Amino acid sequence: MRDVLEQLEERRQDARMGGGADRIAKQHAKGKLTARERIELLLDEGSFEEYDMFVAHRCTDFGMEQQKPAGDGVVTGWGTINGRMTYVFSQDFTVFGGSLSETHAQKICKIMDMALQNGAPVIGLNDSGGARIQEGVASLAGYADVFLRNVKASGVVPQISLIMGPCAGGAVYSPAMTDFIFMVEDSSYMFVTGPDVVKTVTNEIVTAEELGGARTHTTKSSVADGSFENDVIALEQMRRFFDYLPLNARDGAPVRPFHDDANRIENSLDTLIPDNPNQPYDMREVILKISDESDFFEVKANFAKNMLTGFIRLEGRTVGVVANQPMVLAGCLDIDSARKAARFVRFCDAFDIPLLTLVDVPGFLPGVSQEYNGIITHGAKLLFAFAQATVPMVTVITRKAYGGAYDVMASKHIGADVNYAWPTSEIAVMGAKGATEILYRSELGDPDKIAARTKEYEDRFANPFVAAERGFIDEVIMPHSTRRRVCRAFAALRNKRVEMPYKKHDNIPL
């Protein structure tokens, strides 16, 4: 019996070594952790239960039968993060470059099936050279099997991808179908075709970092939701991020103990809005002062900066925040910000996370480029997402809410439950100056008359009371009381139920 136990432990030790000490040293030399080290940092100590440690590939071509490392380049199983269950797979670059084989894919599919069955999130730590060429179509079939499960799991359990090395070719489409993608700076990249192919086909010379690095995907393409300096920080932040998410669509937004008074008054908000309506202020300050312990996990922080999206807690409960940012493009809605916010709203609605919308929007960004690139369709995505959402929705208008952008930003008319406005808010078709020039075009030659007309328009419409008179605004509130009013509104909406008409699925304007 002792011999059998020793043999088991030896086999386990061999499996834990992955591609061997030399390749592990090379991984460390690149500033990267191994697959198992990553799991140890991500999950609670001692909580990881590994599956399929001894699985090996079945390929016999190109001399592959001579190399059959246990685990076949991916570590899979489940564990807990702060006591909450999650399934995880971590690709091992020290084994065949983390390339995906038939059995590698089967291991990933197994834990994804179990995640769906047991209602727990899936976290993928990606570090792979792509499909294993030696296996040909079998590896491609393996990718397709994973893709199908990504689609089936969408909206059922949260799916998070952390790109910690190369992710190229068909491999990119699995992370692309997950809910959030995070990257590690200077050591991870994603692209469909690499720099060499790009040079051959289009004659463009570009580095892997420029083509698909963390900076590219967090600032230009919006493929990634965030990036971190190194593996350790990335995994620590994933633990923090995980705490905001429900375990599944039926679980509801998580609740944790909080130590912040729900009735806290923030007097500084009374003086936040500048007297000059064209002067910006930082909407992030409003978010931090409303949230529990000023904790805000921002998503896509470096893309479409005129829109802020992310998670806060109110009375210990996760809330998704969508907010215009007057510091960038005056908070205008454009193609990028509409896509960014629509994607975020749909995630929150899918997983029953309430939505707080902070509005300071002068309208849609005008321009030939915006129209040619489909601002109509992209703006409709955000409108559709808000109108479709059935979660509790609270909206606070802090300053400008003009034109169609007022409607789109979670107005009462498209389904928001509680709509507040600060006394500084202006709800109108457009700004006073533009409206006056249209209404009194014949008087444009007389500056004094135009100034008087502008003042008249401002007095009549540049305030929240016209909308409040019609019931479009539920209450005009003092800025310093915003946290208390928002917390009470969400508390009143906790049992909200909405019945939607039968449909197979909607047809969002993609």
List the catalytic residue out of 71, 142, 169, 403.
Answer: 169
Return d(Cα 410, Cα 394) in angstroms, integer.
Answer: 8
DSSP state of 477: -
Q: Which residues pair with 88 in a beta bridge?
A: 77, 123
Alpha carbon distances (Å) from 445 to 431, 448, 449, 455? 20, 9, 9, 17
The residue among 77, 477, 435, 446 whose CA lies nearest residue 266 is 477
Query: Distance between CA atoms of 386 and 373, rounded to whole angstroms?
Result: 22
Which of 304, 209, 229, 92 has its CA nearest to residue 237? 229
Token match 């983390």: residue?
A: 98
> Quick one: tokens of 295?
């904790």
Decide if 250 contacts 135 (C-beta within 8 A).
no
- Cβ neighbors of 129 (< 8 A, separation 6 or more) are 93, 96, 97, 98, 99, 166, 168
Structure tokens at 508: 């969002």
Q: Are the beta carbons of 300 and 346 closer than 8 angstroms?
A: no
Q: CA-to-CA distance for 296 and 319, rounded, in angstroms?
A: 10
| 404 a catalytic residue | yes
CB 326 within 8 A of CB 285: no
Q: Is 18 a catalytic residue?
A: no
Residues 6+ apart with CB under 8 A from 448: none
- Please choose, from the candidates 169, 87, 103, 111, the residue with its C-alpha nearest in 3D space to the C-alpha of residue 142: 103
Strand ranges for 368-510 from DSSP E: 393-402, 418-421, 426-428, 475-476
Neighbours of 267 (CB within 10 A): 10
Choosing from 56, 119, 155, 170, the catalytic residue is: 170
Task: Reply yes or no on whether 25 is catalytic.
Answer: no
User: How far apart, in Å, are the Cα atoms of 263 and each of 72, 273, 349, 483?
Assistant: 55, 22, 27, 7
For the question of residue 310 being annotated catalytic, the response is: no
Assess contact for 426 and 404: CB atoms under 8 A.
Answer: no
Residues labelled catalytic: 169-170, 404-405
